[in-house]
Amino acid sequence: MSNSQQTLNEKKYNKLIVVLSIVIPVAVAALFGIKIDVELPVFLPPIYASVNALTAVVLVFAFVAIQKKNIKLHERLMKFAIALSLVFLVMYIAYHMTSDSTKFGGEGFSKYVYYFILITHIILSIAVIPFVLITYVRAITNNIEKHKKIAKITFPLWLYVAITGVVVYLMISPYY
């Protein structure tokens, strides 16, 4: 496939990428303001923290797979990581629509560490959305050189978001 054909194929997805990159964070923020008086049958934070941990592990395995030139395994693992992120998002929204936010109870230095991790996690979880989508589109449109370039940015961002999601949960878990 020629570069111009790859670019044309990517452009088909650009509007969707822009829309999703805006709609997802706005929807999450809006849904935070909606409270449903329903008690969930399970306590979701440890479950979605585990999903984040699994996402981080899958991302590392996908990285190793591509380093070993195992493209099919890399592709399957990346699709699984995207699916896990969607599962996380659904559970995260469900929890925050049915429960009050938990305040961090730590003091001193731990409070600063917690808020630094939380704020960077939130900002990068929003920023990583278009990176993941663009990286994925470049892979499915077979624009591998551009895929590799952006994946070098996407991978550490996504991994940071997945790991810090677990860290935030571990730091706030005593206060639930």
Per-residue pLDDT at 31: 87
Q: Which domain holds residue 136?
A: 3-27+41-175
Q: Sorting pLDDT into bands at 50, 70 and 90, what band is 6?
A: low
Per-residue pLDDT at 18: 94
| 165 within domain boundaries | yes
Rounded Cα distance between 20 and 140, Å, is: 17
Mean pLDDT, the chain, as a whole number? Answer: 94
Q: Domain holding 91: CATH number?
A: 1.20.120
Domains contained in the chain, number:
1
| 32 within domain boundaries | no
**pLDDT over 90 at 89, yes or no:** yes
Cα 155 to Cα 16, 136, 166, distances in angstroms = 21, 12, 17
| 114 within domain boundaries | yes
Lowest mean pLDDT among 6-10, 82-86, 134-138: 6-10
Higher pLDDT, 32 or 19: 19
Rounded Cα distance between 127 and 160, Å, is: 12
Q: Sorting pLDDT into bands at 50, 70 and 90, what band is 136?
A: very high
Q: Which residue has the tokens 């809006």?
A: 30
Rounded Cα distance between 91 and 89, Å, is: 6
Cβ neighbours of residue 81 closer than 8 Å, sequence gap 6 or more: 55, 58, 59, 62, 158
